[in-house]
Copies of this chain bind each other. A is one copy, B any other.
């Protein structure tokens, strides 16, 4: 996995995450002010949008802009990324600023939503620094903790970390786990469409996930100190 910061020239924070053949471009955009329902609260707001380019995948998909509506999967992942990022930040310290993080999948090969979260955190951290350098934060350090995410699953009866696309298809169980840098949980989403899982399997998957997130946390820190 490689994390390239400042891949874009205009965005306040931007990252190209490459993870196997998966490539996700994460761009954090700062706006002064917050949505109407939040004005006067003294608190900031963070949103995320996830999307795939039409030919990110093996066969071309129609554009959601052409179809005129967002699919359920897009909605679901955008919401997941947004919640994960908000857990990383003290919104009161952010002040009444908004940060929108766009995660666009340029190429997909499994694990796009977890790559998106992992890269989006780095872009977000850069955007918060950008605000700090301009004296626009309500308090000094809005970032409470880093967040990173991995996919784990059971393939042919074995728990596995970071499912690539081919395995993903054969996986009976698929779990996305978002952890903080110190190993606590932000999101745990386990799905067993083709075969339920018992408590022992769940425990094994969580152990794997916590370990995987720790590795990614180290990569994020490296990237941010470079």
Contact = CB atoms under 8 A, between A and B. Distances in A.
A128 interface: no
Copies in the complex: 6
B66 A68 contact: no
A81 to B, nearest CB: 12
A59 B145 CA distance: 28
Name the residue among A25, A71, A75, A195 with the largest chain B CB count within 10 angstroms. Answer: A75
Contacts of A79: 72-73, 76
Nearest to A74: B65
Given A49-B66, A54-B102, A76-B72, A190 B193 contact: no
B72 A69 contact: no
B206 A184 contact: no
A11 B59 CA distance: 8
A8 to B, nearest CB: 6
Contacts of A60: 27, 29, 31, 100, 102
A129 B114 CA distance: 36
A21 B49 contact: no
